[in-house]
Amino acid sequence: MKDLLKYYKDINKLKESERQGWVDRKIEPPRDTIASHSWGASLIGWLMAKKEGQDEEKIIKLLLMHDLIMAHIDDFVPDDENYTSKRDIENGLSEKLLGNIPKEIREEFMKLFLEYQKEETKESKLARECDKLDTLFQTVIYSEKKERNILKEFLPFYKKKFTSKTGKKLFAELEEYSENFA
Protein backbone atom coordinates (compact mmCIF):
# COMPACT_ATOMS: atom_id res chain seq x y z
CA MET A 1 0.00 0.00 0.00
CA LYS A 2 2.87 2.39 0.73
CA ASP A 3 4.03 2.30 -2.90
CA LEU A 4 0.51 2.79 -4.23
CA LEU A 5 -0.05 5.75 -1.90
CA LYS A 6 3.27 7.32 -2.95
CA TYR A 7 2.31 6.81 -6.59
CA TYR A 8 -1.12 8.37 -5.97
CA LYS A 9 0.50 11.39 -4.35
CA ASP A 10 2.64 11.76 -7.48
CA ILE A 11 -0.30 11.61 -9.86
CA ASN A 12 -2.39 13.89 -7.64
CA LYS A 13 -0.22 16.74 -8.96
CA LEU A 14 -2.32 16.51 -12.12
CA LYS A 15 -5.27 18.00 -10.22
CA GLU A 16 -3.31 21.05 -9.08
CA SER A 17 -1.14 21.87 -12.10
CA GLU A 18 -2.64 24.53 -14.33
CA ARG A 19 -1.79 24.29 -18.01
CA GLN A 20 0.89 26.83 -18.82
CA GLY A 21 -0.60 28.04 -22.10
CA TRP A 22 -3.69 29.33 -20.29
CA VAL A 23 -1.60 31.04 -17.62
CA ASP A 24 0.50 32.71 -20.34
CA ARG A 25 -2.65 33.95 -22.10
CA LYS A 26 -3.95 35.36 -18.82
CA ILE A 27 -7.09 33.24 -18.80
CA GLU A 28 -8.92 33.95 -15.54
CA PRO A 29 -9.08 31.16 -12.94
CA PRO A 30 -10.40 28.60 -12.67
CA ARG A 31 -8.15 27.43 -15.49
CA ASP A 32 -7.80 24.07 -17.17
CA THR A 33 -5.52 21.76 -15.18
CA ILE A 34 -3.49 18.86 -16.48
CA ALA A 35 -6.04 16.53 -14.84
CA SER A 36 -9.01 18.18 -16.54
CA HIS A 37 -7.13 18.17 -19.84
CA SER A 38 -6.25 14.50 -19.37
CA TRP A 39 -9.88 13.63 -18.65
CA GLY A 40 -11.09 15.57 -21.70
CA ALA A 41 -8.46 14.13 -24.02
CA SER A 42 -9.21 10.60 -22.76
CA LEU A 43 -12.94 11.03 -23.35
CA ILE A 44 -12.26 12.40 -26.84
CA GLY A 45 -9.87 9.48 -27.35
CA TRP A 46 -12.53 6.96 -26.46
CA LEU A 47 -15.03 8.53 -28.86
CA MET A 48 -12.55 9.02 -31.71
CA ALA A 49 -11.12 5.51 -31.35
CA LYS A 50 -14.63 4.12 -31.65
CA LYS A 51 -15.33 6.29 -34.71
CA GLU A 52 -12.00 5.38 -36.35
CA GLY A 53 -12.28 1.66 -35.49
CA GLN A 54 -9.19 1.73 -33.26
CA ASP A 55 -8.39 0.20 -29.87
CA GLU A 56 -10.25 2.42 -27.38
CA GLU A 57 -8.46 1.14 -24.29
CA LYS A 58 -5.03 1.62 -25.82
CA ILE A 59 -5.79 5.18 -26.94
CA ILE A 60 -6.97 6.08 -23.42
CA LYS A 61 -3.89 4.49 -21.84
CA LEU A 62 -1.57 6.37 -24.22
CA LEU A 63 -3.21 9.66 -23.29
CA LEU A 64 -3.11 8.98 -19.56
CA MET A 65 0.55 7.98 -19.68
CA HIS A 66 1.49 11.16 -21.55
CA ASP A 67 -0.25 13.39 -19.01
CA LEU A 68 1.24 11.51 -16.07
CA ILE A 69 4.67 12.71 -17.23
CA MET A 70 3.31 16.22 -17.74
CA ALA A 71 2.37 16.34 -14.04
CA HIS A 72 6.05 16.32 -13.16
CA ILE A 73 7.43 18.94 -15.52
CA ASP A 74 6.33 22.39 -16.49
CA ASP A 75 3.52 22.16 -19.01
CA PHE A 76 5.40 23.30 -22.11
CA VAL A 77 3.52 24.83 -25.01
CA PRO A 78 4.43 23.89 -28.61
CA ASP A 79 5.87 27.29 -29.52
CA ASP A 80 7.98 27.41 -26.36
CA GLU A 81 11.68 27.81 -27.19
CA ASN A 82 12.43 24.96 -24.78
CA TYR A 83 10.12 22.50 -26.52
CA THR A 84 13.00 20.27 -27.66
CA SER A 85 14.24 19.97 -24.10
CA LYS A 86 10.73 18.94 -23.05
CA ARG A 87 11.25 15.62 -24.81
CA ASP A 88 14.55 15.09 -22.99
CA ILE A 89 12.95 15.89 -19.65
CA GLU A 90 10.00 13.57 -20.30
CA ASN A 91 12.32 10.74 -21.25
CA GLY A 92 14.46 11.23 -18.14
CA LEU A 93 11.51 11.46 -15.78
CA SER A 94 9.59 8.48 -17.09
CA GLU A 95 11.91 5.92 -15.47
CA LYS A 96 12.01 7.84 -12.18
CA LEU A 97 8.23 8.25 -12.02
CA LEU A 98 7.45 4.66 -12.76
CA GLY A 99 9.64 3.32 -9.95
CA ASN A 100 6.77 3.31 -7.42
CA ILE A 101 4.51 0.94 -9.30
CA PRO A 102 4.71 -2.84 -9.67
CA LYS A 103 7.21 -4.05 -12.27
CA GLU A 104 4.63 -5.63 -14.62
CA ILE A 105 2.64 -2.40 -14.76
CA ARG A 106 5.80 -0.28 -15.00
CA GLU A 107 6.86 -2.16 -18.15
CA GLU A 108 3.48 -1.58 -19.80
CA PHE A 109 3.53 2.12 -18.83
CA MET A 110 7.02 2.58 -20.22
CA LYS A 111 6.07 0.86 -23.46
CA LEU A 112 3.01 3.11 -23.81
CA PHE A 113 5.01 6.23 -23.00
CA LEU A 114 7.62 5.44 -25.65
CA GLU A 115 4.95 4.61 -28.21
CA TYR A 116 3.24 7.96 -27.61
CA GLN A 117 6.56 9.80 -27.90
CA LYS A 118 7.58 8.12 -31.15
CA GLU A 119 4.17 8.68 -32.74
CA GLU A 120 4.71 5.84 -35.21
CA THR A 121 1.60 3.72 -34.63
CA LYS A 122 -1.92 4.57 -35.73
CA GLU A 123 -2.97 4.57 -32.06
CA SER A 124 -0.23 6.98 -30.97
CA LYS A 125 -1.06 9.31 -33.85
CA LEU A 126 -4.75 9.29 -32.96
CA ALA A 127 -3.93 9.80 -29.27
CA ARG A 128 -1.86 12.86 -30.20
CA GLU A 129 -4.82 14.21 -32.21
CA CYS A 130 -7.11 13.73 -29.22
CA ASP A 131 -4.65 15.59 -26.99
CA LYS A 132 -4.68 18.50 -29.45
CA LEU A 133 -8.47 18.40 -29.86
CA ASP A 134 -9.00 18.80 -26.14
CA THR A 135 -6.81 21.91 -26.22
CA LEU A 136 -8.67 23.32 -29.22
CA PHE A 137 -12.09 22.61 -27.71
CA GLN A 138 -10.98 24.29 -24.47
CA THR A 139 -9.84 27.23 -26.58
CA VAL A 140 -13.36 27.55 -28.00
CA ILE A 141 -14.73 27.74 -24.45
CA TYR A 142 -12.20 30.40 -23.44
CA SER A 143 -12.83 32.33 -26.67
CA GLU A 144 -16.52 32.52 -25.84
CA LYS A 145 -15.84 33.55 -22.23
CA LYS A 146 -13.31 36.25 -23.17
CA GLU A 147 -15.24 37.31 -26.27
CA ARG A 148 -12.09 37.23 -28.37
CA ASN A 149 -10.97 34.59 -30.81
CA ILE A 150 -8.22 32.77 -28.91
CA LEU A 151 -8.81 29.75 -31.15
CA LYS A 152 -7.41 31.70 -34.12
CA GLU A 153 -4.03 31.89 -32.34
CA PHE A 154 -3.85 28.10 -32.01
CA LEU A 155 -5.02 26.85 -35.40
CA PRO A 156 -1.80 27.43 -37.41
CA PHE A 157 0.21 25.31 -34.93
CA TYR A 158 -2.17 22.36 -35.11
CA LYS A 159 -3.25 22.03 -38.75
CA LYS A 160 -0.66 19.41 -39.75
CA LYS A 161 -1.33 17.33 -36.61
CA PHE A 162 -4.58 15.88 -37.91
CA THR A 163 -4.34 12.88 -40.21
CA SER A 164 -7.37 10.77 -39.30
CA LYS A 165 -10.61 11.22 -41.21
CA THR A 166 -12.46 12.26 -38.05
CA GLY A 167 -9.64 14.56 -36.91
CA LYS A 168 -9.46 16.35 -40.25
CA LYS A 169 -13.23 16.85 -40.26
CA LEU A 170 -13.25 18.23 -36.71
CA PHE A 171 -10.31 20.53 -37.46
CA ALA A 172 -12.12 21.89 -40.54
CA GLU A 173 -15.17 22.58 -38.38
CA LEU A 174 -12.97 24.39 -35.85
CA GLU A 175 -11.49 26.52 -38.66
CA GLU A 176 -14.99 27.38 -39.82
CA TYR A 177 -16.01 28.24 -36.26
CA SER A 178 -12.98 30.52 -35.95
CA GLU A 179 -13.73 32.27 -39.26
CA ASN A 180 -17.31 32.95 -38.16
CA PHE A 181 -16.45 33.95 -34.59
CA ALA A 182 -18.48 36.99 -33.62
Q: In terms of C-beta distances under 8 Å and separation of at least 24 residues, what long-range contacts does 143-148 make, across chains too?
A: 143/181, 145/28, 146/27
Q: What's the mean pLDDT in 27-54?
A: 96
Interval 62-99: pLDDT, tens = 999 888 876 666 545 555 555 555 566 566 666 667 77
Which comes out higher in pLDDT, residue 93 or 143? 143
Percent of the chain with pLDDT over 90: 56
Averaged confidence pLDDT in the chain: 87
Q: Check if the beta carbon of residue 130 is closer than 8 Å to that of residue 60.
A: no
Residue 82: closest CA among 128, 13, 90? 90
* CATH number among 3.40.50.970, 3.20.20.70, 3.90.1530.10, 1.10.3210.10, domain 2-179: 1.10.3210.10
Q: What are the sequence ranges of the domains in the chain?
A: 2-179
